[in-house]
Amino acid sequence: MRRILRTGPARQTGWLSGSWLAALLIIGLMALLIPGVSPVMSSATASQASPAAAPATAGAGCLGVTPAVIPALGFITDPDRTQGGHLWWRAEPGGTCIGTVVQWVQYNATAAKTWRVIVYSAQHPGGQVVAEQTFTLGRGWYWWSFGVHQVFPGLSAVCITADESFGVPCLHFGT
């Protein structure tokens, strides 16, 4: 099931939009934890390097449980400008599991933009696009949930971007 949420202009944000966001996040987490329900995953697309080489069993059981916030930068921002997105991760034998990555993008006019999740790891120090989706949307703020669910040995950063976003905010992991 694919979902995209649009919020109104910044003047319409407040308690109601925050409570809707919290409710949607809880529903999303429940969908990940209920057996038999799985998120729709975007097809992985290679960047300059080759496609992700995750262990065969990594995708099946890799669910992040520790939340982390990706900072806002340029048009990669939520309506409150407090985050560009967030993800769930967990340390696993052999690497770091990245579960769901949520990305916010602000549109100032109707445009087509491709949103991307980029992972930097020991196998891909130059970065690798592990999920992407293209949207044509009107003015406003939107979010999308990418199901990554892979273990990355030597993970150093997870970044998010979209066309014409004026920056690539990243969450850096200690080495």
Per the structure, the count of domains in the chain is: 1
pLDDT in tens, 7-52: 544 333 333 344 434 443 443 443 333 333 222 222 222 222 223 3
- How far apart are alpha carbons 140 and 60 in whole angstroms? 35
pTM above 0.85, yes or no: no
DSSP 8-state secondary structure symbol assigned to residue 51:
P
- How far apart are alpha carbons 142 and 138 in whole angstroms? 10
Q: What range defines the domain where residue 106 resides? A: 5-172
22, 47, 68, 115, 165 from 42: Cα distances, Å:
23, 15, 21, 11, 20
pLDDT at 79: 97
Average pLDDT over residues 157-166: 94
Note whether 158 and 170 are within 8 A (CB): yes
Q: Residue 114: enclosing H or E segment and its boundaries?
A: strand 111-120
pLDDT: which is higher, 40 or 56: 56
Note whether 47 and 125 are within 8 A (CB): no
pLDDT in tens, 106-159: 999 999 999 999 999 999 999 999 999 999 999 999 999 999 999 999 999 999
